[in-house]
Amino acid sequence: MVKINKKTVPFSTKFAFKKNIDFYLDNGEVIELSFSPSIDGNTLWDNVAGKKDIKVPSPLEKARQDPESMKARILASARRLFGEYGYNSTTTRMIAGDVGIDISTLYYHWGEKLDLYEALITDLNDEILLKFEEVEQQARGKSLSDRLEISIDILTEYLFNHPEVSNLILFGYFNKTDSGNVPGIKIGDYTSGIAVAMDLAEDKAHVPVQAKARILAVWNCVLNFISGENFFRPILNVDHDGYRAVVKETVKFMMVPAFIKQ
């Protein structure tokens, strides 16, 4: 049977739970479930505190809700290690060791490596989308050259602050190993979004090929400068802050005239 707030109700046998699970009602109330999976039952969903719709939050949603939780700590470590070594070269044992937990704890919170990586990529795609929305808001109504400079400033700042994002994108470009169904960051979608924000296209479904190519040129320039900082910065003989400034200035010097020249 299922115990919900100390009351026993039947549950559907199709839910073969093995552990206690938190359920969240529409109002955010948490209901702790405990049960004996060997006993038949039904109509769990119609009997939980009079509610018919129950939302089961994903591990990613739980990590976002509590940044100090174990799920969030594992996700943060995975983000850094996947960004440093790529999907194929990062193991769950490496992540567990970095967090300081047993590997079984990682599996309890996130499942298999692919499950954790998929959640990470979803999190990054949502994060990048918010940055492009910021670009669009700040660039709206301005001249093309101003829109380009705003875009370069916002995106380079974001990527410098989160270099693992740049690395993960480049791993996706250059990884020669067949990774099956491993997801990636949605560069194509973001390229179309930038084109609309730059007023180079009316909508994301009708972006000219030339506009896409020019935006990709900006992307590639910025990504390589950021992921290659340890290689390029000693050549330029500047500190980190100086390097950030010179990268922005250089990208603008190269790309703004190229875009506005018609």
* Domain at 64-113: CATH architecture: Orthogonal Bundle (1.10)
Instruction: Tell me the C-alpha distance between 119 and 137, whole Å.
Output: 27
Strands 54-55 and 21-25: antiparallel
pLDDT exceeds 60 at position 107: yes
pLDDT exceeds 80 at position 11: no
**pLDDT tens per residue, range 156-212:** 999 999 999 999 988 877 765 555 566 777 777 777 877 777 777 778 888 888 888
Residue with tokens 């492009």: 132
The DSSP secondary-structure symbol of 13 reads T
Strand partners of residue 25: 54
pLDDT exceeds 90 at position 18: no
Q: Sheet harboring 7-9: ordered strands across?
A: 7-9, 2-4, 30-35, 21-25, 54-55
Cα angle 65, 69, 72 (rounded to 5 degrees) comes to: 75
Q: Which residues contact 92 (CB under 8 A, 6 or more apart)?
A: 103, 106, 107, 112, 113, 116
Please tell me which residue, 17 or 56, carries the higher pLDDT value: 56
| DSSP-assigned states of every residue in 185-218 | --HHHHHHHHHHHTTS-SSTTS--HHHHHHHHHH
Q: What is the mean pLDDT of residues 55-67?
A: 90
Instruction: Tell me the C-alpha distance between 92 and 88, whole Å.
Output: 11
Q: In degrees to the nearest 10, what's the CA dihedral of 128, 132, 138, 142?
A: 150
**pLDDT tens per residue, range 116-167:** 999 999 999 999 888 888 888 888 888 888 888 988 899 899 999 999 999 9
- Each domain of the chain, given as residue ranges in start order, spans 2-56, 64-113, 123-260
Q: Which residues contact 14 (CB under 8 A, 6 or more apart)?
A: none
